[in-house]
Every structure is written in structure tokens, then in C-alpha cells.
Amino acid sequence: MTENEISNTIIGLAIDVHKSLGPGLLESAYKECLFFKINQFGLFVEKEKAMPLIFEDIKLDCGYRVDLLVEKKSVIEIKSVASLSDLHLAQTITYLKLGNYKLGLLINFNEVLLKTGIRRVVNKL
């Protein structure tokens, strides 16, 4: 699957999770449910994937963890906040750059209509 196909699938699954749970829960609840749905769909997904920083050929553990990494291609960063900020976007961009991934989704589940809380983030490699 391409990154775009993966992201379209993830968005559909995220909408299913949001329809079932609604807004207002903690991020961890949405992460667990979306992880389950992605697995159930048959895609390879890793949760809390460590993202080291490589500096001068040295791997440094800065404590970065990607919420979900799907098919070793797509970063999914999950939030449950009043509104997404530039800091959330910067976090997603950081993961894309450190892992050399092309596409990520920043999803804020704390929206009445989930569609308004989804941002596609592209790494211009």
C-alpha cells in the first residue's frame, strides 16, 4: 500500500473509533482503540515506536515515541486537546524527518466532527 492508501484507510478507521467513543476521552483510549482497529484491518502497526535521533553517526535516545507507525511508512500522532497547535504539528514533522517518512496524520479526537481534527503532514524529503 502507498502512504496515501494507508492514510485513507487510517482516516476511515479513526472515524469509526470516534463514532463509537465520541470526543472527550484521554489520548490513550483513542490510541488503543485505533491500534486495535488497524491490527484488525490487517495492517502492520507499531505502538509507541521509539524514534532515536542520529547525530554525527551516534544514535541518541531523546525519548521520542511515535504514537502509531503503520506499515513502517506512515506516522500517526494522536491528540485529544481543545485545538491543535503549532507544537503538535512540529512534533509530527520531527517524527517524519527523524524516521525519513513521507506522510503522517495528526489526529485530534477531541472534536465533535473528527474530520475537522485531522491534518495530513507531508515531509518534503
Q: What is this structure's pTM?
A: 0.94
The confidence score (pLDDT) of residue 125 equals 67
The confidence score (pLDDT) of residue 57 equals 87
pLDDT over threshold 70, residue 65: yes
* Architecture, CATH, for domain 3-122: 3-Layer(aba) Sandwich (3.40)
C-alpha cell recorded at residue 40: 484488525
C-alpha cell recorded at residue 12: 476511515
Q: Please state, rounded to an integer, the average pLDDT across all residues of the chain.
A: 95
Query: What's the average model confidence in pLDDT over 106-111?
Result: 98
Q: Report the C-alpha gap between 64 and 68 in whole angstroms.
A: 12
User: 3-state DSSP call for residue 43?
Assistant: coil
C-alpha cell recorded at residue 19: 463514532
Contact (CB, 8 A) for 13 and 78: no
